[in-house]
Structure 1
Amino acid sequence: MKRWAALACGLVVGVVSIGVAPDEARADDDTWYDRYVAMDAAVGDTYYRSADGAQLAWNESYVLDSYVDVYGLSRDRRWLDKAVTHIDGMIADADDADGDGYRGWQTARYSPVEIDNGGMETGAQGDSTLPADWLRFQTTSANAFRTTDRRAGAYAARIDSDGQLWRKLYQPVNTYHPNTVYQLRFWSRTNGSAAGGQAYLYDATAKQVLCSTDVTATVWTYHSLDCRTPSVAGHTLQVWIGHRDYRVAGGQAYFDDVALSGRFPYLVHDGMIGSSIARFARLVEQTPELHESYRAKAVSYRTFLESEVVPRWESSSYIGNTWYALTSTTGTYKQSLKIDAFSHKRNWSILPYNQSLAFSNMLLILHEINGNAAYLDRARLNGQYFKNALTLSGDAYTWPYSYSSAQPEDVSHANIDVGAARELHRRGIVFTPTDMQRFTNTLTNRLWNGSLTAPKVRKFVDGTGDDSFSKYLVEWTEYAQWAKAIAPIVSEQYRHSTVNHGYDMLALARIMKWDRTKLVNQGFELATSFDTTQPAQWTRAGSTATTAFRDSANTHTGQYGLTIRSTGGAPQGVFQSWEGWSPATSYTLTFSGRSSGGAAGGRVVVTNVTTGAVLAALTFTDQDWTGHTLTFQSPDTATQTVRVSIGNADPTVAGAAHVDDIRIRVTGEPW
């Protein structure tokens, strides 16, 4: 017991700390969890029902990631069940709209708009009553004209019916890709007349309406419909707006923000969605206790990604091969040369760093499951391509948005960049511990204003710009592995804010993940920046890399556990300071443990370092992984120092103890 007390009070070494007081790092026990549950109830099931690739990438992917994270915190399988429901729904909605033989998702959000002046903001030359670029059909300025009764901007178009003839406006489409789904979208309203309103896409060459929708609402309402273009090029396509029934006089139909854009696939969206699905599959694969309930699903999801999403970007007859091997050590992804998914005036072909990294990150996660060497090679080459773009400024990295842009990357898009870099580092590829510390320094030394009570973060990675992107830090949050201050920087963005977005759900999950009232790096998956054998945020006490280390051969869940090896002499172990706890409160500590057998065994102890009192201790000698629980009372005085230490039961005897998944929660709370 005396030997163990000495270990538990060892010196603090090897933890990067930037002056975070316990109350500043505190995440208020289960306040964050309660907010997360409430938000999931409000918006969690909103996004996966959409078949739009952008909606799924920039909303649903974060929801799915949050489910995986919150399961890891709570071990509550309802979050995995929700993930299954969402992934099943997304895969069911995936289609082969472009006919290339591969299913996936598309969006019209970023593709070129193929008509002009859809907002009616500009008047025609010589006739300001007519929207520029639009043509009148059987109308004059008396019954088809620009109006200030609009949905947005300064103008809209109004068309009146007189019961005599069709009164319409139309505009030829600039260009189109054959046999492609285009989205016709607009805002409209009527005055309630039975004449109603109508918009449609017309093939003037074939004299065929390709798609049409009616308008009846008397308040401005958004409309969107899909239209497939002719199978060959060269047809004259036109967008028409007018009434549903010209025979009814007195009708007024209003149109604003009319647009027509192709629904195209985007590599970044498939990467974001696919990475989230792959993370679920990886979790299941690496957690044997989940196999019975979820492995069949996980395998089917992996198969979908491997057979549909991944080959889509190299073997599709519609998209073409977008992989670009630059050199023997670098490669990346480029725009499709077959479809203008971004702009007809593009002057670049290689995709921005964040877009290619999102996709290669999915490949890296899949490789961890399937061992496909080609996936690993793509991720490695793409990671090196990004690394070559980094500039060391002092002790921090800066980088541009893309190879062709002088503008620095913004903090929000950089989430994808630093997330992919961290995943590569975790796999021991491309990025070193020094690189991780430099990315960390980008946030803590260049972007952060230094405040823990009102922290703000600059918009661009070079430290310029305003602080409007301060809350977009979900992947930066994971760099709390290397700097303790990052957790409160993020949590303070959300302490008093309203959360209403899928992104916010993941932010709350990451805040919970780095809540030091629960302990952090609970599964020992993360390493320090200076020693890959030492678990991040855990301090060695009297031990070395051979006696207290992250162990991939002895793990209960995930890829690593912690091994403490007794050498038959001085105590060996690690500890973590427990912070932000509430005084005089009942807490429960849980962990999984096993030993090599014999008297050395293992021991977990909670110690009040200030008074020297042991608050709780548990010794184990099980040779199979066994769950253990300790319940104890926190000190009455909040300023006292408390540590959780892990070592051997009897350090005078040779043997080994293995621990995984250690965490603390308020007794009776769900996590």
Structure 2
Amino acid sequence: MKKWSVAAMIILMLVFTSTFSNSAEGTDTDWLKRFNDYDADQSQAYDGAGHVGPIPRLGYTPSNVYGWDESYVLKGYLGVYRATKNEEYLERFVEDVDGMFAQLEDFQGDGFESWWTSVYSIDQIMNGNMEKDSIYYKDSNGAYMTDGWYPYPWYGGKGSVYRTDEDKASGTYSTLVQNSEGENFVSAYTIIPNYTPGKQYNFKFRAKNKHSDDLGKIMIVRQDTGKPIKEFSFTNNEWQSYSVDFKTPDIAGLQLRIYLTNDDTNDPDAATYYDDLSLKQYGEYIVHEGMALTAISEFIDIVYQDKTLSKEYTKKAKEYLKILEKNFVPKWEQHWAEWEHNGIEMGVFKFPFDDTARMTQINEYFPFNEPSKGITIPHNQYAAAGRTLVNLYRITKNEAYLDKIQRMGNFLKSSLHIKETDNGDAFVWNYWDNSGQQWDFGYFRYKSEDISHANIELGLAVDLYQIGTVFTEEDMMKFTSTFKELIWQGDYSDPRVSMFVDGSGSKNYSVLISEWVTLSQFDKEIRDISVQLLNRPRDTFGSTYGMVLIGNLLRYNPDLLTQ
């Protein structure tokens, strides 16, 4: 959890060329300097909190930041440590992990500590941007209402509750709640179509009052009692974003409503504008945890294998292992499914049966806001968890871990397809595949996997190969052909990669090849290609991703430290 002061930043920049030295040569290299520059840069994110957090404006760090940013930082540290044996990188690693684990919390009250976010959940608000009008109110005295929202009182004409283009936060329209003389309560409301009982939700909206002394107000109301379970008031007369958390009732099947009101009932001229509303469940995501814990479990394995490291690292490794086996492993067991196909044992994790299970691939038709509950998750999501379990198996030799990773590996391998190239067969595959089992339903879009998400699946395949199961050396060579013959566009003078593993899509895609560079252990030409891509005139990725790229490159090509 690095909070770099300005003075510290200046000192670091002065010593970058001398402090982090190659253990063999005693001199720094361009690769290490670049890595440390990335590290210093990423530590300034979120007002200096870095990607460990907590993020100041939130008070916590959403799990997606750990999954898609900090995980790269951690992997980068380990890669550079493996290449240099400089324990400074392990010290940075432990500092970050301690900061992350300090924020673990039993947020959902299920007995398992975790990180969480609402970003990836189903939005329960239809037409939250207020752009679509409702045919039901077009002739109601000029009161054009917003689709999915209803006016109260129902007989209100223009002058009470209606959609308007006179002031909006974004787009073309907002909804105005304008008080009317003689009315005790005026509101726009919507019915929450479904909710997961007893869970935390986040309601976000943008709003402004017509006058500086007006009092806008939102209410989340149980219709069986007519009483609010959450109220929030505000006086701002400029557009502002608001975020309100609440917990749903423990009972399923109740009707919940969101009311958008103005609480100045004695002032007929008081009014409030509303726009850009969303309602999402807070959730825990196996892909975010898997990404973050892959490096943490790898650290434990490194420490357990290297008896020369200090006892402090051993103490930390044991502490981290206890946390993983207490929280990560048992939490997701309820979402595990396994089967046999043509004599081959397979298994996957499935989406939880709640509103966190958002995948747009099958939500293109009515009902739009019905999540992908209980179906097989995409390849990258179970692969992230699988990589953590591979490391746990290395550490503990627990056969239960081996069984799961072999089953996931078998399913992944069964989803690969052969594509012939001029220089041998290559693997191509989809972003997401139906397991063919009874729990999978609906429409799966079988689109080619992009090279970014493919890093995670490739990482699992390489991990399994390294422990001698599921994937063979012949398979590894097919993956190298995927990179060299399909993804890489073959021109060293103008280095480019395609967007998808089958070679389709943009030919100037960002160099998101963090795990593809690990194939250089099988084919040194991939090292040369990767170096050429990384030395393009400008970076096409963020500093956190730059760290994992260089970390993996140096891990498998430590000779670059002397060049």
Taking structure 1 as the reference length, the TM-score comes to 0.67
User: How far, CA to CA, are the matches of 1:244 and 1:72 in structure 2?
Assistant: 62
Displacement of 1:218 in angstroms is 5.1
Give 3-state SS (helix, strand or coil) of 2:145's partner: strand
**Which among 209, 212, 221 is matched to residue 202 of structure 1?**
221
Letter in 2 for 1:497: D
Residue 491 (structure 1) aligns with: 534
**By how many angstroms is 1:192 displaced?**
6.0
Q: 1:222-301 alignment to 2 at 5 Å?
A: 222-243=241-262, 245-247=264-266, 251-301=270-320
Residue 191 of structure 1 deviates from its aligned partner by 5.2
What is the number of residues matched between the two proteins? 489
SS at match of 1:131: coil
Equivalents in 2 of 1:77, 1:466: separation in Å?
40
- Following superposition, the deviation at residue 168 of structure 1 comes to 2.2
Given that 1:322 and 1:334 are in contact with CA atoms closer than 8 Å, whether structure 2 keeps it comes out as: yes
Cα offset, 1:341, TM superposition: 3.3
Contact 2:378 2:433 in 1 (8 A): yes
Q: Alpha carbons of 1:162 and 1:492: their partners in 2 closer, same or farther (altered >3 Å)?
A: farther
| Pairwise CA RMSD | 2.9
SS in structure 1 at match of 2:310 = helix
Matched, 1:154 2:155: no
Change (3 A) 1:239 1:98: same
Q: Partners in 2 of 1:452 and 1:155 — Cα distance?
A: 51
Shift of 1:283: 2.7
How far apart are the structure 1 equivalents of 2:346 and 2:202?
Answer: 33
Structure-2 residue corresponding to 1:438: 478
Would the aligned equivalents of 2:112 and 2:327 in 1 still touch at CA under 8 Å? yes
Letter in 2 for 1:202: V
In structure 2, C-alpha distance between the alignment counterparts of 1:352 and 1:500, rounded to whole Å: 24
When structure 1 is superposed on structure 2, of 87-96 and 122-131 the one drifting more is: 87-96
CA distance in 2, matches of 1:96, 1:438: 43
Compared with structure 1, are the counterparts of its residues 345 and 261 closer, same or farther at alpha carbon in structure 2 (3 Å cutoff)? closer
Higher-helix-fraction structure:
2
Partner residue in 1 for 2:113: 103
Secondary structure of the structure 2 residue equivalent to 1:142:
coil
Evaluate the alpha carbon distance shift between residue 230 and residue 177 of structure 1 in structure 2; reply closer, same or farther with a 3 A threshold: same
Deviation at 1:41, TM superposition (A): 3.1
Give the Cα–Cα distance (whole angstroms) in 1 for the partners of residues 295 and 273 of structure 2: 42
1:326 corresponds in structure 2 to 340
CA positional deviation for 1:310: 0.7
Once the two structures are superposed, what CA deviation does each residue of 1:420-450 show, in whole Å capped at 9, x if it has no partner?
Answer: 1111112222111221121111111112211
| Per-residue CA distance 1:567-608 (angstroms, 9 max, x = gap) | xxxxxxxxx7x7xxxxxxxxxxxxxxxxxxxxxxxxxxxxxx
Structure 2 residue identity aligned to 1:40 = Q
Question: Given the superposition, is the C-alpha separation of residues 508 and 241 from structure 1 closer, same or farther in structure 2, using an over 3 Å criterion?
Answer: farther
Counterpart CA distance in 2 for 1:143 and 1:502 is 50
Does the C-alpha gap of structure 1 residues 103 and 28 become closer, same or farther in structure 2, counting only changes over 3 Å? closer
CA distance in 2 between partners of 1:45 and 1:77 (Å): 23
* Residues 309-329 of structure 1 deviation map (CA, whole Å, 9 limit, x = unaligned): 111111xxxxx3423233563
Displacement after TM superposition at 1:393 (Å): 1.1
Q: Which amino acid aligns with 2:107?
A: A
Match of 1:426 among 466, 477, 480: 466
Other structure's SS at 1:412 match: helix
Shift of 1:141: 2.8
Distance 1:89 1:38, change over 3 A: closer
Task: Return closer, same or farther for 1:80/1:226 CA change in 2, 3 Å cut-off.
Answer: farther
- 1:455 is matched by which residue type in structure 2? P
Is residue 664 from structure 1 mapped to residue 562 from structure 2 by the alignment?
yes
Does the Cα contact within 8 Å between 2:195 and 2:355 map onto a contact in 1? Answer: no
**Secondary structure of 1:93 counterpart:** coil
Distance (Å, rounded) in 2 between the aligned partners of 1:226 and 1:390: 43
- Provide, for residues 510-544 of structure 1, a one-character-per-residue CA deviation record: whole Å limited to 9, x for no partner: 45x27xxxxx533xxxxxxxxxxxxxxxxxxxxxx
Residues 1:402 and 2:432 aligned together: yes
Relative to 1, partners in 2 of residues 1:391 and 1:269: Cα closer, same or farther, differing over 3 Å?
same
* Shift in CA distance, 444/219, structure 1 to aligned 2, threshold 3 Å: farther
1:384 matched to 2:410? The reply is: yes
Alpha-carbon spacing, 1:247–1:474, altered in 2? closer, same or farther (3 Å): farther
2:244 aligned counterpart, secondary structure: strand
Q: Deviations over 1:594-649 (max 9, x none)?
A: xxxxxxxxxxxxxxxxxxxxxxxxxxxxxxxxxxxxxxxxxxxxxxxxxxxxxxxx
1:66 paired with 2:76, answer: yes
Distance 1:106 1:42, change over 3 A: closer
Which has more radius of gyration?
1
Superposed CA offset, 1:469-504 (max 9, x none): 4322211122232223332254045x4137546334
Q: Kindly tell me: are residues 298 and 30 of structure 1, through their superposed partners in 2, closer, same or farther at Cα, counting changes over 3 Å?
A: closer
1:170 matched to which residue of 2? 189
Is 1:37 the counterpart of 2:39? The answer is yes
User: In the TM superposition, what is the alpha-carbon distance from 1:304 to its structure 2 partner?
Assistant: 0.9
Q: Give the 3 Å change call, closer, same or farther, for CA 34–63 of structure 1 in structure 2.
A: closer
Cα deviation digits, residues 50-105 of structure 1 (max 9, x gap): 44322321222222222323444455545434433332333333333333322223
* 1:18 equivalent in structure 2: none
Aligned 8 A contact 1:112 1:341 in 2: yes
Which residue is 2:511 aligned to?
Answer: 471
8 Å CA contact 2:188, 2:259 repeated in 1: yes
Residue 465 of structure 1 aligns with an amino acid whose one-letter code is G
Percent identical pairs in the alignment equals 28
Aligned positions of 1:618-657 closer than 5 A: none
CA distance in 2, matches of 1:272, 1:447: 23
Q: Distance in 2 between matches of 1:424 and 1:300?
A: 25
Counterpart of 1:137 in structure 2 is 152
Structure 1: where are the runs of 5+ without partners? 1-26, 315-319, 515-519, 523-575, 579-662, 666-671
Residues 73 and 188 of structure 1: is their aligned pair in 2 closer, same or farther, counting only changes over 3 Å?
farther
Task: Verify: 1:458 aligned to 2:458, yes or no.
Answer: no
Cα distance in 1 for residues equivalent to 2:448 and 2:219: 42
**Unmatched runs of 5 consecutive residues or more in structure 2:** 1-28, 55-59, 139-143, 359-369, 435-444
TM-superposed CA distance for 1:347, in Å, is 8.9
**Residue 19 of structure 1 corresponds to which residue in structure 2?**
none
User: Which amino acid in the other structure matches residue 356 of structure 1?
Assistant: Y
Residue 390 (structure 2) pairs with residue 354 (structure 1): no
> Is the CA contact 1:195–1:249 (under 8 Å) kept in the aligned structure 2?
no
Supply the AA of the counterpart residue of 1:480: S
Structure-2 change in CA distance of 1:346 and 1:287 (3 Å): same
> Which residues of 2 match residues 115-130 of structure 1 at below 5 A?
115-127=125-137, 129-130=144-145
1:307 is paired with a residue of what secondary structure? helix
Question: Aligned partners of 1:503, 1:104: CA distance in 2, in Å?
Answer: 24
- For 2:562, what is the secondary structure of its paired residue? strand
Distance 1:322 1:257, change over 3 A: farther
Q: Distance in 2 between matches of 1:96 and 1:398?
A: 40
Indicate yes or no: 2:62 matched with 1:47: no
Q: Contact 1:113–1:260 at 8 Å: present in 2 too?
A: yes
Q: Any conservation in 1 of the 2:511–2:541 contact (CA below 8 Å)?
A: no
Aligned 8 A contact 2:351 2:372 in 1: no
1:521 aligns with 2:547: no
Compute the displacement of 1:119 (Å). Answer: 1.0
More strand, by proportion? 1
Q: CA deviation at 1:161?
A: 5.0
TM-score (norm 2): 0.79
